[in-house]
Every structure is written in C-alpha cells, then in structure tokens.
Amino acid sequence: NKVTNILLISSGEDTFFKSIENKYKQNTSDYLVSDLKENIIYLIDKKIKIVAITTDNENLMKSVREKLNKHFPILIIVPCSAHIIQLCLKSLLKINTIKEILEETLEIISNIRNNKKNSTLLLDLQQKDDVKEQLKLIYTTEIRWTSLIKSIERLRLLKKYIVQIIVNIPPNFWEKINLFY
C-alpha cells in the first residue's frame, strides 16, 4: 500500500505524527491534499503552529504543496533538504578532482567485492584479528547521497585490511579520501 508519513519538526527535533495509508485510491494530488488538509486543520485546532511543509521533489508532491498553499497561504514551502543535498552531490561529483577520487574508490571496492579471492581474504584478515562481526565493503549507488558516505566510511574502517589486499592503490589515495570525506 502507498503510505504518506507526517512528521512534525520543531527546534531540530522530529516527531512521528501519523501515517496515512492508501489501500484503494489512486495517489492523486486531490486525494493527498484532502487527507493532509484534514490533518493540518486538526493540528491547528490543537494549537500547534504550522509554518512550513516539506515534501519530496516528485511532481505529485509539488502539486500537493501548491494546492495546500492555496488553503493555507501562511505556509512556507520548503524544499526537501535530502534532495537538495543529492543535487549538490551530483554537481560536486562532476568536478574532475572529486570525480577521480570517486573513480579510484569504486575501483578499489570493485577489486575486492567482485573478486572472490580478495573478498574472502578481507573476511579472513578480520577473522585473524578476532573481529567478531566481519564487514564487507559497501558499493555506493548514486541514488542516495548517504550511500556514498556509508561506502567511504566502510572503506576507511577497513583500510588496514585493504592495503594488505590491494597492492596498487593510487598514490595519496587515503589522504584524498579523508579530505573528501
């Protein structure tokens, strides 16, 4: 089922308020506006001051925001920060020096993940160090910016083992990845 979650954010703290589950209807802007409008009115009646709404960048949600703003003109429409970060990251990854770091990172990860001998060696080296839960490398996706962060964090965490497995790591790679991180 399609689900719309409503979170209330105040002073940097978020609180789950409600999920609107849509089992049968088409997820149109009119459908969503009626449910969201009802919830906004409920919150206002409870003396909760609402000053802004944020949705993702999907066209449906843009339409919902515009229609809600007609009913509640005082509402500020705030773009989704996760999407803004993702767009910024996409632009940053086009810069040659950063692109080079990312390519080197992906090559090292692939060299271990896509090679049975290397991936087994990564786990064996951790086991020899009595690491209770051996870790694998995470291959980043461009879909979510957090994926790249997690991938780099894991790479840095496993550096001790990676340098034993990959002999031809580009010069200054670890310094560059630390600066990028």
pLDDT beyond 90 at 74: no
pTM as predicted: 0.61
pLDDT for 143 equals: 62
On whether the CB atoms of residues 147 and 139 are closer than 8 A, the answer is no
What average pLDDT score do residues 92-98 get? 89
pLDDT of residue 135: 94
pLDDT tens figures, 104-128: 999 999 999 999 999 999 999 999 9
DSSP annotation of 169 reads P
Task: Average the pLDDT over 46-60 and give the result.
Answer: 78
- From CA 111, how far away is CA 132, in angstroms rounded? 24
- Report the pLDDT value the prediction gives residue 57, as an integer from 0 to 100: 62
Q: Tell whether the model's pLDDT for residue 92 goes beyond 90.
A: no
Q: Fill in the DSSP letter of residue 171.
A: T
- Mean per-residue pLDDT of the chain: 87
CA angle 8, 12, 15 (to 5 degrees): 30
Q: Which amino acid is at 75?
A: L
pLDDT digit string, tens, across residues 125-156:
999 999 999 999 998 876 677 788 899 999 99
Please enumerate in sequence order all residues whose Cβ is within 8 A of that of 72, keeping only pairs 6 or more positions apart, or say none.
40, 50
